A and B are shown apart, each in its own frame.
Chain A
């Protein structure tokens, strides 16, 4: 029986392993024909927050969707099939990496246009409250999405109506290759923007999965109790390129020193270090999990590749209900 802390580490290892293996396939095969944004290095934000949600809470995300989807319990095989464009994909091959959903798990959807799901989550949370349900909507987005007008509009509305929503800002410092310094005035923060809107907010080390979980637990409870929305600004770092499986460390927009220092602060390594006293075998466990999840994702890839593509006769299926066309 794993402790709650080691379970978080296991969940992060699963996401890391899945994404590393998928990135290799993506690069080597060129068969996943969908723009894909990997979360490698950012697993603690996905795992720490989703760990405190119930299956009836809804989680949304932006384009960097796989980690929140998997952390919320989204089906791996359906995700992999989606990346390969198969009919059995979680969006039947219509959505791709940026439009994934698993309703049974409470992963309510990801979107490609920055900031959209901030508003959608406010709407869902508002709907929960209107229906008298003690459910919470959460929405992941990067700090780049906090530059969009819809961020301010949504936070303002959520604060006015005390909507049970938790805004999860994964601040990975870059919008593609644009650093914070060219987008945010000195001395400001996403957290500060939220406060200005009247949204309770908190800045947390986003690579400390236990700290993220504790902050998220308070935030979700706060929202669930009808005390209003909460924003968590979680500082983290993307190891790979903005989009695609590759490294972009030679692209010049961030220094090698900076990259190395963040990679040295790997959320999995840090969490393993933090539990080593209570779980002396943690390193061996991590290794065994890696092997286990490698097998799992390789098997999912094998299955996905063997599955049929959507029938082109169904090209229009879903644009409208059949009766409404």
Chain B
């Protein structure tokens, strides 16, 4: 199969969906500029022009509310935030309106299938308010679908699913995934939400991960394999709906669980996965659950602090060794996937 980068896959999904459905339009700050949301909206702008790739004022709250109204009137908005942190300004419209629209008006008057993409800018000193991953924040609210595609194929397929479905969707994309190359179907084939993926099969410990951490987990698994520890990596793909089955089946098999995320532990994705396992397969666990997540501070800028702040493959290795009863073992440190990310933005 032919290959694309992650960002090319997003661009292709956007263009193909816009070709097939003229109700789809892209809205976001600077989506028409030379950078084109890290390349993801450039081709759409070239093909469809400013009426369908709309440069919005700096008004995240109204943009989300306008998208809700446009969706209620039959359009299919795709809102893009080049920094996901700005989505907090859109929370009223996304949480109080988009998520609740179908239910609150009775469930029989249609929904507002607004699709919102947010790019997480981890690395290169992005700091406290340019590198947050708000997937768990949005996944808290019933009515939304929230996905964190980890591969180019999923980046395309899940955007296709979002733009052809009837549910409001939040897609969180880690910027460090953008250069990643992978096989991507040429046709716009939807990848359904709520169906996880075994990124790597194993027998000794399960690492459940989302987004960038899937790749860090795979790299950790390679290193641990050399030591004779077989790691199974579960890519949840979407946080809501969450594929509880694939998580529980894997833990039932391995008896050990590490959960890896690009955000904080408290009340987050790692907490949710641990709770799912505690509720459904508590007796399968042969060791306490370990969570790999951000330490409890905002993200720093200075390079050494930033390196210490973000968990990576080596953090996952340590957690896996711990649950396998080898807490004292020290393996060579692995470079972060994000090591290749260059500035300035």
Contact = CB atoms under 8 A, between A and B. Distances in A.
In the complex, which of the residues B62, B63, B65 has the most CB atoms of chain A within 10 Å of its own CB atom? B62
Interface in B60-110: 61-75, 77, 92-93, 96-97, 102-109
B97 A111 contact: yes
Contacts of B143: 319-320
Contacts of B68: 119-120, 123
Contacts of A125: 69
A157 B73 contact: no
B142 interface: yes
Nearest to B56: A157
Interface stretch (A26-34, A147-155, A181-189, A199-207): A147-155
Interface string B286-305: 00000000000000000000
B71 to A, nearest CB: 7
A282 to B, nearest CB: 38
Given A113-B92, A113-B96, A154-B66, A321 B56 contact: no
A123 B103 contact: no
Given A127-B74, A153-B57, A319-B142, A122 B106 contact: no
A251 interface: no
Interface stretch (A67-75, A101-109, A237-245): A101-109
Given A111-B97, A153-B57, A157-B57, A120 B25 contact: no
Contacts of B59: 153-154, 156-157
A128 B72 CA distance: 11
B49 interface: no
Interface residues of A, number: 45
Contacts, number: 143
B62 A119 contact: yes
Interface size class of B (residues with CB under 8 A): 35 or more
B69 A123 contact: yes
Contacts of A90: 106
Given A91-B106, A319-B102, A131 B74 contact: yes
A130 B104 contact: no
B340 interface: no
Interface string A99-141: 1010100001101010010111111111110110000010000
Nearest to A101: B105
Contacts of A126: 66, 69-70, 75
A122 B62 contact: yes
Given A92-B107, A324-B145, A124 B61 contact: no
A157 B97 CA distance: 19
Contacts of A318: 102-103, 106-108
B62 A154 contact: yes
B165 interface: yes
A94 interface: yes
Contacts of B183: none
A111 B111 CA distance: 15
B166 interface: yes
Contacts of A137: 69, 73
B241 interface: yes
A116 B107 contact: no
B312 interface: no
Given A149-B61, A160-B57, A123 B106 contact: no
A317 B107 contact: yes
Given A150-B65, A324-B145, 14 more contacts: A92-B108, A94-B107, A101-B109, A108-B72, A116-B96, A118-B65, A119-B68, A120-B72, A122-B66, A123-B72, A154-B59, A154-B65, A157-B59, A319-B142
24 contacts: A91-B105, A91-B106, A92-B107, A93-B106, A95-B106, A99-B105, A101-B105, A103-B109, A111-B96, A113-B96, A119-B61, A120-B68, A121-B69, A122-B69, A123-B67, A123-B70, A123-B77, A124-B70, A125-B69, A126-B70, A154-B65, A317-B107, A320-B143, A320-B167
9 nearest A-B pairs in the assembled complex, by CB-CB distance: A318-B107, A123-B69, A119-B65, A153-B62, A153-B59, A127-B73, A120-B69, A92-B106, A123-B66
